[in-house]
Chains A and B, each alone.
Chain A
């Protein structure tokens, strides 16, 4: 398929449709509303389900209900709306249902604003809802990656029967870029829905989908099952991109939009003779701790750049385990750093570390 000029929110919505998403439930919130609008037009055209819910609380519980039926289902929202979904996400996690959610982050806390932010890293990556669970979290840095990860998210969610959250930000939702959409996949036929799904107990024992285990030993067993799945996810689903790492003495670690901005800064720094590279984690859970640890043995200093007060920074510290100094540069509240600001930080780190030029 040829490339076309696509807006992020429209691109991921259409990508979800082509991945065979059968039902979408959502609530308008800037800066992701174009996704809901796109779904409202396209899903009925294709005979699929679109419903604008009365709230994000209801939207995620509609997703929960449709997921019980074993169909590909998703929602999308932005920070304050995703906060409202946390209850439902916890139930979905506890019930081991495959669900895809896109969070187009905006400035906060509170009502904040509608500008791009990465302020919800801890909320999303560490679990978010109550109880002991982790969703898989994937962070795109371009419209093409937004499309590709959304398609992949449905496959991964079904593989592990878990939640996959695409963690984007307002700039990825709003900007337009040439990108290529995938081929259209059909929705799964009713007779091919999974055996665990609720479809009516015909010629079989009833299926029950619940996250309620009154006996703590049973609940612990479920928690251990979720943990075992996490171990498998941590072994199989780590994704990251690297740039100019081989001879780097300084490595910038940044995800999503911050990673993309850092990439521009690194290219200029290289022209100045600074041996700097980029690690851009794509899977935020599972986090590429091992790769970060290896880089700790290779480079002299790490610079973490985020559009928040330093949330992924905690995970980088876990990976580095004190091997090398870590600097941090962050803009908050919906402010997107300019490549020049990041370049200046790279220069500072470089002069401090005494690395060669």
Chain B
């Protein structure tokens, strides 16, 4: 050691946009990954001091403890309305919501629909794990046909419970929506694509181009009754089939990365 020069190369560091607090998320849950991706994007854009987040009701209710930035806690499903109020009186700030499938696609279906329809200049990160996590694994509007949950113990019966909602496809139909894409967090390649899409979504807002949403297919090993690995495989084998990945809406005004963000 005496004569040799030590060279240290920093290849990984905690994002400035995250606090030091350990999360409460279950082992194998992908919320941590999506938090990290958002934080990295905000770091890279240098907008932490100008960004305000809206936390949902659901597993990510404590998001404001993990992000090192101004945050508000919304009522269940109402984050897009709250973000609308906040953004309209703070048009120069970046405002984003972080919402699960129960929050966004069930109780908040009206709020997300109209925020997108108005072309509200906000960014929505939509976590789709096909189940209600916080309340202990009940059916979500995104639960797959046949999928067992604590409120569909025999599997989701479409005769009784109807069909899952594909929110990206639905919202992409609205003229007000500028950027609506679906990505997945089940492996590294897809995680990298997810990050590019999140960056694109925030850029859309920064340029004042209107409503942007990134849907992230996510895992819930605890409530699916699987190991972390099995859960990621289940995302790949079942969720990606039901919820195809892709760019559902990329408004012509959006320039930048090819096909609007990494697909």
A interface footprint on B76-100 (CB within 8 Å = 1, 0 otherwise): 0010011111111110010000000
Q: Is A264 interfacial (CB-CB < 8 Å)?
A: no
The reply to whether B93 and A66 contact each other, CB–CB distance below 8 Å, is: no
The reply to whether A209 and B73 contact each other, CB–CB distance below 8 Å, is: yes
Q: Which of B48, B69, B89, B111 interacts with A61 by CB under 8 Å?
A: B111
The reply to whether B70 and A73 contact each other, CB–CB distance below 8 Å, is: no
Q: Is B228 interfacial (CB-CB < 8 Å)?
A: no
CB distance from B76 to the nearest CB of A (A): 9
CB distance from A224 to the nearest CB of B (A): 20
List, in ascending order, chain A residues with CB within 8 A of B87's CB: 65
A-B contact pairs, 16 of them (CB 8 A): A23-B89, A51-B84, A58-B111, A64-B78, A64-B81, A65-B54, A65-B72, A95-B72, A199-B90, A200-B50, A200-B51, A201-B49, A206-B67, A206-B71, A208-B64, A211-B73
7 smallest beta-carbon distances between A and B, as pairs: A65-B85, A62-B85, A210-B73, A61-B81, A65-B82, A66-B85, A65-B86
The reply to whether B110 and A57 contact each other, CB–CB distance below 8 Å, is: yes
List, in ascending order, chain B residues with CB within 8 A of A54's CB: 110-111, 113-114
Q: Is B52 interfacial (CB-CB < 8 Å)?
A: yes
The reply to whether A69 and B64 contact each other, CB–CB distance below 8 Å, is: no
List, in ascending order, chain B residues with CB within 8 A of A355's CB: none
A interface footprint on B38-70 (CB within 8 Å = 1, 0 otherwise): 000000000011111011000001001001111
Which B residues lie at the A interface, using CB under 8 A?
Answer: 48-52, 54-55, 61, 64, 67-75, 78, 81-90, 93, 110-111, 113-114
List, in ascending order, chain A residues with CB within 8 A of B69's CB: 200-201, 206
List, in ascending order, chain B residues with CB within 8 A of A200's CB: 49-52, 69-70, 93
Docked Cα-Cα span, A63 to B55, in Å, equals 16
Residue among A59, A66, A71 with the highest chain B CB neighbour number at 10 A: A66
* CB proximity to B under 8 Å, residues A75-91: 87-88, 91
The reply to whether B68 and A65 contact each other, CB–CB distance below 8 Å, is: no
CB distance from B260 to the nearest CB of A (A): 27
Q: Which of A51, A62, A69, A208 interacts with B90 by CB under 8 Å?
A: A69
The reply to whether B81 and A202 contact each other, CB–CB distance below 8 Å, is: no
The reply to whether B85 and A61 contact each other, CB–CB distance below 8 Å, is: yes
Docked Cα-Cα span, A58 to B47, in Å, equals 28
Docked Cα-Cα span, A15 to B109, in Å, equals 35
Beyond contacts A200-B69, A206-B67: 18 other A-B pairs, Cβ-Cβ < 8 A, are A23-B89, A57-B111, A62-B85, A64-B81, A65-B87, A66-B89, A67-B85, A68-B82, A87-B75, A91-B75, A95-B73, A198-B90, A200-B70, A201-B68, A202-B49, A206-B71, A210-B64, A211-B73
B interface footprint on A39-76 (CB within 8 Å = 1, 0 otherwise): 00000000001010111011101111111110101000
List, in ascending order, chain A residues with CB within 8 A of B113's CB: 54
Nearest to A71 among chain B residues (CB) is B89
Residue among B71, B83, B110 with the highest chain A CB neighbour number at 10 A: B71
Nearest to B91 among chain A residues (CB) is A49
List, in ascending order, chain B residues with CB within 8 A of A61's CB: 74-75, 78, 81-82, 85, 111
The reply to whether A62 and B84 contact each other, CB–CB distance below 8 Å, is: yes
CB distance from B191 to the nearest CB of A (A): 26
List, in ascending order, chain B residues with CB within 8 A of A25's CB: 85
CB distance from B214 to the nearest CB of A (A): 21
| Contact A88/B78 with A58-B111, A198-B72, A201-B69 known, Cβ cut-off 8 Å | yes
The reply to whether A208 and B71 contact each other, CB–CB distance below 8 Å, is: yes
Docked Cα-Cα span, A67 to B82, in Å, equals 9
The reply to whether A65 and B64 contact each other, CB–CB distance below 8 Å, is: no
Q: Is A123 interfacial (CB-CB < 8 Å)?
A: no
CB distance from B100 to the nearest CB of A (A): 15
Nearest to B85 among chain A residues (CB) is A65
Docked Cα-Cα span, A51 to B80, in Å, equals 14
Nearest to A91 among chain B residues (CB) is B75
The reply to whether A51 and B88 contact each other, CB–CB distance below 8 Å, is: yes
CB distance from B77 to the nearest CB of A (A): 9
Docked Cα-Cα span, A54 to B81, in Å, equals 9
CB distance from A220 to the nearest CB of B (A): 19
CB distance from B96 to the nearest CB of A (A): 13
Docked Cα-Cα span, A316 to B33, in Å, equals 58
Q: Is A22 interfacial (CB-CB < 8 Å)?
A: yes
Nearest to A25 among chain B residues (CB) is B85
The reply to whether B93 and A58 contact each other, CB–CB distance below 8 Å, is: no
List, in ascending order, chain B residues with CB within 8 A of A23's CB: 85, 88-89
List, in ascending order, chain B residues with CB within 8 A of A210's CB: 55, 64, 71-73
Residue among A23, A63, A209 with the highest chain B CB neighbour number at 10 A: A209
